[in-house]
A = this chain, B = another copy of it.
Amino acid sequence: MPKVTSMYKAEVKEKIIRAAIDSFAQTGFDRTKMEDIAKRLGLSKGTIYLYFKSKEDLFLAICEHNMQQSDREDAGLFVRKDNIASDAEQIYDNIRRREQGNDRVMLEMVAESARNPKLKKAMYELHVKVHEHVMQAVKSKIDEGFLRKDVDAASLAIALVALYDGLAVNRMLGISDAVNKKAWVTMIKTMIAGSS
């Protein structure tokens, strides 16, 4: 089979997905017109339908795309030197960089997942995967003595992910990233330092 064609197709698909992410992030799923996405690419509406059989389909492709990317990149976020405090900052930046502009689409995805079981399942699985990862990091921090032995690593991992997600919501409300990062770091430091 013509590999070139299929490679080309994959490229165009990728391009469309990126344009769609931008559009959905800006206007939301329902309010984004297929034509908007097409225009971003200098394509015509019809062309998108050569690559995705419906708007829904395109959205789901975005979801998968986002998740794969998360998959690919969620390594190496946590393990760093032993200065947790400055480490925390780094971690925040890393996640931020990775999610670059996906906040809003993620929001759309969460909202949509309430209606779309398939999507919900996929996001749940992504969550589990991320959680697994963070939990490992937490565990090593426990091992390294930065956290008490009796801390429930699983729960703390969930909390950390939630914290990050909550800060993403903040960003959408216009709260500056500096403020958010500081909140993140403060929380991490407080966890480590405790009240002692």
Contacts and interface: CB of A to CB of B under 8 A. Distances in A.
Interface in A148-196: 148, 151-152, 155-156, 158-167, 169-170, 172-175, 179-180, 182-187, 190-196
* Identical chains bound together, number: 4
Contacts of A166: 161-167, 169
Main SS at interface, chain A:
helix
A47 to B, nearest CB: 16
Given A28-B112, A166-B166, 15 more contacts: A114-B172, A120-B174, A123-B173, A148-B195, A151-B190, A152-B182, A155-B182, A159-B184, A159-B186, A159-B187, A160-B187, A162-B170, A163-B163, A165-B166, A190-B191
Interface string A107-122: 1101111110000100
